[in-house]
Amino acid sequence: MRSGIPLRKRLLVRLLITSVLIAVCSVAATAWLAVETTTRALREEQGQVLADDMDVLNRLSGYAATHPDWQGIEGTLRELSDRIGRRIALIATDRTVIADSAVPGTPLPPRAAATVDPLTIDTHTDRGAQRGGIDPRVVGPYRLPAAERTRLDRLAEQRRECFARNGVDATVERTRSGRPVLTDDDGSALDYVPLECADGRLNTPTATEEKALGELTERARTCLDEHGVDFHEPLFPIVDDRDRNMDTRYLMGKLKAQPQQRAQRQARACVDRARRAQLDPYVAPAADLFLGVGDRPAVRFDLSPANWTKVLGAAGLVLAVTVAVTAVVATRLVRPLRALTAAAQQPPERHVRVPVTTRDETGILATAFNELTERRARLEAQRKAMVSDIAHELRSPLTNIRGWLEVTRDGVVDPDPALLASLHEEALVLQRVIDDLQDLADADAGTLRLHREPVRADELLDQVAAAHRVAADAAGVTLRTTARGTPWLDADPVRMRQALGNLVSNALRYTPSGGTVTLAARRDGDDVVLEVTDTGTGIAPEDLPHVFDRFWRAEKSRSRRTGGSGLGLPIVRHLLAAHGGTAEATSEPGTGSVFTLRLPGGEPPKDT
């Protein structure tokens, strides 16, 4: 083999040349890298300081937007100060200290970094910028009570469904005031409203909003009268249900005959001043924000003649050592690599292994190659079995549908309701198999979408139990739920109902009449544990490790109707993995089985 490979293409020669070039280039570039790294680090530090400043301003502005005064800000301020490692001080406009992370008596910086006033500057809508306008977290008298929020949520969902029927994908989001808004999938406002969906019900102000808007109109009336701006009552007739910002959500109506451009501009100015006056009692007073500088002198790197000598000497030494060591190591590396190359060139169906002669990286590579070969052989066998299982699962209902359709076409039987119901049932069997395969395909591709929200575990169990109550009664099985406390999950409720539903359906299938299926929930440290326990036939110890394998059934003789498709439990495992949880099974033949789902716990919503 050596004589057949040109000298310039041999691995040993190429490795030697590469190592020499790497050594020379690395030593020569050390000084430049040091300067470049130091400069970049300083720039990144400056960028981080700016990001910290904007985050502090946003947090404090959010506090001011949701509190009528600064009482209780000390804890938040000290938390921010500890996180960024700098001093933070809030000073009132009369120079009174509101809160300061430094010890009393410490002089303030010469200038304030910013002014915290949520009625003047918005730091929340566009992170990293200070936009003129009212912070959208300021709600004031526009906060909707629970009854109005429920009604608007129902109207928003009806409009979203109307959008979907007209080919427009929309998402319902809740604003700070509690009003739902319709946005695009990326969070931006929708540009198009189908005519069928423009019923005006979601755009009509609620009683709470009408009261607040009426007060705003009265506050602005004096200014409007002074500038001769006449308007039609009410001043704010409709709501833009696609806008999150309060100052642009309530649309101004038409003005009476007058120079429209000037009147509109003057009306907006009057309303803007009136809105700030209306919201002022609900926000904390404006305050100056002072931040500690914390500058450090930049580190300078100067390559002097003495340093040049050291660099050249080190370069020569590194070069000599690199050549010698590389020659020895490369010779030892080439030998097992040739064996790996010869094995890799064999036909795939032979599944050739290579001997592991070393314990270094080459030996690890050889071991990994052998494991890959074994895994490939195992996956090939699994693939053949899975294709066979899928073909079997789809062939049976298709054969039944085709057979009945042929005899119906030939006039042998009449298409009576019983026959149509049987064909419909076979179609549902096909649909369930296809849906299960689609869920598994999405999980394998990493495209399984979750819509997380706070979910009470006990309510989740009650919903699943209610959905399977009829099936349990028909099977003569008692279905009950129990929960220890009120554990909360941060999960997709639809997907969790699907996972628990698969477990309950499986338990009902293997639990004889008179048995019991129990759904339980409890808190275990930071996790929430959900259990589905049955008093069924149980699972044999040799079958227990395979219960989450695809198309696996404890009894191979069972049909799809009596034994399931073999896809329900694999879907449960993938859904739990997508939530960051685990699924386990324990069983004792003749006594029953316990399926345990462990998920990270969540916090209850703050508005509950």
Q: Which long-range contacts (CB under 8 A, 24 or more apart) does 107-110 make?
A: 108/290, 109/290, 109/291, 109/292, 109/293
Angstrom distance (rounded) from CA 82 to CA 76 = 10
Phi and psi, residue 489, nearest 5°: -120, 150
Based on the fold, state whether residues 430 and 476 are members of the same structural domain: no
Q: What is the dihedral of CA 41, 43, 45, 49, to 10 degrees?
A: 180
For 53-74, the DSSP string reads HHHHHHHHHHHHHH-SS-TTHH
Give the bridge partners for 9, in sequence order. none
Based on the fold, state whether residues 76 and 186 are members of the same structural domain: no
Angstrom distance (rounded) from CA 102 to CA 81 = 9
Instruction: Kindly tell me if the per-residue pLDDT of 461 is higher than 80.
Output: yes
Based on the fold, state whether residues 192 and 314 are members of the same structural domain: no
In a domain, 134, yes or no: no
Q: What is the CATH number of the domain that holds 417?
A: 1.10.287.130
Predicted pLDDT at 228: 82
Say whether the peptide bond before residue 347 is cis (omega within 30 degrees of 0).
no
Q: Name the pLDDT band for 2 (thresholds 50, 70, 90).
A: very low
Tokens 């009552």, residue? 233
Based on the fold, state whether residues 331 and 456 are members of the same structural domain: no
Based on the fold, state whether residues 492 and 434 are members of the same structural domain: no
Predicted pLDDT at 296: 39
Based on the fold, state whether residues 453 and 421 are members of the same structural domain: no
Based on the fold, state whether residues 311 and 189 are members of the same structural domain: no
pTM, rounded to two decimals: 0.43
User: Which of 259, 282, 305 is the last residue before a domain boundary?
Assistant: 282
| Average pLDDT, rounded, for the chain | 79
Predicted pLDDT at 26: 66
User: Which of 248, 267, 282 is the last residue before a domain boundary?
Assistant: 282
567 neighbors 393 (Cβ within 8 angstroms): no
Q: 249: domain range? A: 140-282
Residue 375's H or E segment, with its range, is helix 361-409
Task: Tell me which of 539 and 302 has the higher pLDDT.
Answer: 539
Give the count of alpha carbons within 13 A of 431, CB side only.
Answer: 6
Based on the fold, state whether residues 589 and 466 are members of the same structural domain: yes
Strands 453-456, 250-251: pairing kind:
unpaired
Cβ atoms within 10 Å of 463's Cβ, excluding its own: 16
Instruction: Kindly tell me if the per-residue pLDDT of 181 is higher than 90.
Output: no
In a domain, 123, yes or no: no
Based on the fold, state whether residues 323 and 428 are members of the same structural domain: no
Based on the fold, state whether residues 401 and 474 are members of the same structural domain: no
In a domain, 237, yes or no: yes
196 Rama sector, left if φ>0, alpha if ψ -120 to 50, beta otherwise: alpha
Nearest to 575, CA basis, from 449, 402, 471: 449
Q: Name the pLDDT band for 294 (thresholds 50, 70, 90).
A: very low
pLDDT tens digits, one per residue of 389-436: 666 666 667 777 777 788 788 877 777 887 777 677 667 667 766 766
Instruction: Kindly tell me if the per-residue pLDDT of 366 is higher than 70.
Output: yes
Of the ranges 40-49, 324-333, 348-357, which one carries the lowest mean pLDDT score? 40-49
Strands 516-524, 478-483: pairing kind:
parallel
Report the domain count for the chain: 4
Tokens 């009902």, residue? 508
What 3 state SS string does 438-461 have?
A: HHHHHHHHCCCCCCCEEEEHHHHH
261 neighbors 237 (Cβ within 8 angstroms): no
Q: Name the pLDDT band for 44 (thresholds 50, 70, 90).
A: low
- The amino acid sitting at 406 is E
Instruction: Kindly tell me if the per-residue pLDDT of 260 is higher than 80.
Output: no
Alpha helices in 410-516 (DSSP H): 417-445, 457-467, 469-475, 493-510
Predicted pLDDT at 297: 39
Instruction: Kindly tell me if the per-residue pLDDT of 533 is higher than 90.
Output: yes
In a domain, 23, yes or no: yes
Instruction: Kindly tell me if the per-residue pLDDT of 183 is higher than 80.
Output: yes
Phi and psi, residue 570, nearest 5°: -60, -35
Angstrom distance (rounded) from CA 74 to CA 98 = 9
Region 527-545 average pLDDT: 89
Q: What is the CATH number of the domain that holds 497?
A: 3.30.565.10
Q: Name the pLDDT band for 300 (thresholds 50, 70, 90).
A: very low
Instruction: Kindly tell me if the per-residue pLDDT of 489 is higher than 90.
Output: yes
In a domain, 455, yes or no: yes
How far is residue 77 from each of residues 74, 130, 283, measured CA to CA in Å? 5, 20, 17
Based on the fold, state whether residues 319 and 248 are members of the same structural domain: no
Q: Name the pLDDT band for 198 (thresholds 50, 70, 90).
A: confident
Angstrom distance (rounded) from CA 20 to CA 9 = 16
405 neighbors 424 (Cβ within 8 angstroms): no
Of the ranges 13-27, 141-155, 157-171, 589-603, which one carries the lowest mean pLDDT score? 13-27
In a domain, 130, yes or no: no
Based on the fold, state whether residues 293 and 267 are members of the same structural domain: no
Of the ranges 264-273, 343-352, 557-566, which one carries the lowest mean pLDDT score? 557-566
In a domain, 356, yes or no: no
In a domain, 199, yes or no: yes
